[in-house]
């Protein structure tokens, strides 16, 4: 027997309180990627973050930061 709030021959509606999940904060504990300053300053900041990641035992994060530092090194030398 169908529920009393459903018309014969019609399917019940889904709940209308669906909210898409926010993707904010899914980066874990990574530092913010936004860094201000000149290319050499950005390179130094990314190298400092790499050192922090090494001290924290996060080799993957350290390598990621080193790659950003290398990018800013190349930018400062006009290679990119």
pTM: 0.55
Name the residue ranges covered by the structural domains of the chain: 39-76
Confidence of residue 56 (pLDDT cuts 50, 70, 90): very high
Average pLDDT along the chain:
81
Inter-residue contact 43 to 69 (CB < 8 Å): yes
**φ, ψ of residue 48 in degrees (nearest 5):** -65, -40
Select the more confidently predicted residue: 17 or 58: 58
* Measured CA angle at 48 (ends 47, 51), to 5 deg: 90
């Amino acid at each position: 027997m169908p529920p009393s709030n459903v018309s014969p021959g019609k399917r019940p509606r889904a709940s209308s309180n669906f909210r898409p999940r926010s993707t904010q904060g899914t980066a874990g504990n990574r530092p913010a990627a936004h860094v201000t300053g000149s290319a050499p300053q950005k390179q130094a900041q990314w190298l400092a973050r790499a050192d922090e990641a090494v001290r924290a035992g996060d080799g993957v994060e350290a390598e990621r930061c080193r790659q950003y530092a290398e990018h800013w090194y190349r930018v400062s030398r006009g290679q990119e």
